[in-house]
C-alpha cells in the first residue's frame, strides 16, 4: 500500500490529487482499518477519511495473518509503515519531476539510505514485532563490465547519481552475479534489507543471484 505520488495516474482515474499530507493521512487510516479487517475483527471506525460501522471481512483470509507492506519515498509514509505495517518499502526517490510521474533519485546514495533506515527504526521503536525492510529496485543488469554499464545508466537515465552511485546504491543492481550477491549481503548487514522487488523485465536477470540462497 502507498499514498500515491503520480498526478497523471489520478487524472486518468478522474480523482482529485490531494496534497501529500491528505494522501498520507488517508493511507494511515486505510492501513489501520485493513489490518483490523484482515485480522477478523468487526470494525467500527470514524476517522477523517474513512467511516465503518460493524464491518467484517467475509470470507476471512485463509492465512492467519496477512502481512501488509507500506512503501513510499518520504519519511511520512515510512513512519506510517513503522507504526502500522509488517514491512516498510524504500524507493530512494526524491522530489517529483516536471512530468508529475517520475522522481529525482536523489536519495539513492548510501548516506541518505542510512538516514531513512535510522528514521524508520526510531519511528518503530515501540513495536512488539519485527519490521521487515523492503527495497524497490529500479533496474537489474548482470554484467562483467559494471563501471561502463553504470556510466551509461547514469548519463542516460538518472539526473543526479554518478556511476559510482549506481554501483553502490540499493535501488539498482549492476554488476556480475558474484558482485551482486556480495552487495546484497553487505546491504543486509548495513541496513537490514531482506526483501527486494524488481521490475518485470528484470526477473530473468536475477536468476544468477540465486547463489545467495542459504547465505
For residue 211, CA distances in Å to 115, 159, 182, 198, 208 come to 30, 33, 10, 17, 6
pLDDT at 18: 94
Assess contact for 173 and 137: CB atoms under 8 A. yes
Q: Classify domain 63-212 at the CATH class level.
A: alpha beta
198-206 LR contacts (CB < 8 Å, sep 24+): 198/137, 198/140, 198/173, 199/137, 199/138, 199/139, 199/140, 202/137, 202/139, 202/140, 202/173, 205/140, 205/141, 205/142, 205/173, 206/140, 206/142, 206/173
Q: pLDDT per position in the chain (215 positions), as tens?
A: 999 888 888 999 999 999 999 999 999 999 999 999 999 999 999 999 999 999 999 999 999 999 999 999 889 999 999 999 999 999 988 656 555 555 667 788 889 999 999 999 999 999 989 999 999 998 899 999 999 999 888 877 666 678 888 899 999 999 998 899 899 999 999 999 999 999 888 887 777 676 676 67
pLDDT at 35: 96
pLDDT at 201: 82
pLDDT at 69: 97
Q: Where are the domains of the chain?
A: 63-212
Q: What pTM, to 2 d.p., does this model score?
A: 0.86
pLDDT at 157: 66
Assess contact for 70 and 85: CB atoms under 8 A. yes
Amino acid at each position: 500500500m502507498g499514498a500515491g505520488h503520480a498526478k497523471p495516474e489520478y487524472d486518468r482515474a478522474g480523482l482529485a490529487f490531494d496534497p501529500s499530507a491528505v494522501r498520507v493521512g488517508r493511507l494511515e487510516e486505510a492501513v489501520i482499518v485493513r489490518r483490523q479487517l484482515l485480522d477478523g475483527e468487526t470494525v467500527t471506525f470514524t476517522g477523517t477519511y474513512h467511516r465503518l460501522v460493524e464491518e467484517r471481512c467475509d470470507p476471512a483470509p485463509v492465512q492467519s495473518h496477512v502481512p501488509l507492506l507500506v512503501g513510499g519515498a518520504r519519511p511520512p509514509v515510512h513512519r506510517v509503515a513503522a507504526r502500522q505495517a509488517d514491512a516498510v518499502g524504500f524507493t530512494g526517490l526524491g522530489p517529483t519531476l516536471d512530468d508529475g510521474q517520475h522522481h529525482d533519485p536523489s536519495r539513492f546514495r548510501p548516506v541518505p539510505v542510512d538516514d531513512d533506515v535510522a528514521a524508520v527504526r526510531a519511528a518503530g521503536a515501540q513495536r512488539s514485532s519485527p519490521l521487515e525492510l523492503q527495497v524497490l529496485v529500479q533496474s537489474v543488469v548482470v554484467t562483467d563490465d559494471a563501471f561502463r554499464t553504470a556510466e551509461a545508466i547514469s548519463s542516460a537515465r538518472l539526473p543526479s547519481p554518478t556511476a559510482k552511485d549506481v554501483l553502490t546504491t540499493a535501488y539498482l543492481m549492476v554488476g556480475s552475479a558474484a558482485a551482486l550477491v556480495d552487495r546484497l549481503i553487505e546491504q543486509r548487514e548495513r541496513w537490514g534489507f531482506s526483501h527486494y522487488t524488481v521490475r518485470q523485465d528484470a526477473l530473468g536477470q536475477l536468476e544468477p543471484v540465486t547463489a545467495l540462497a542459504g547465505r
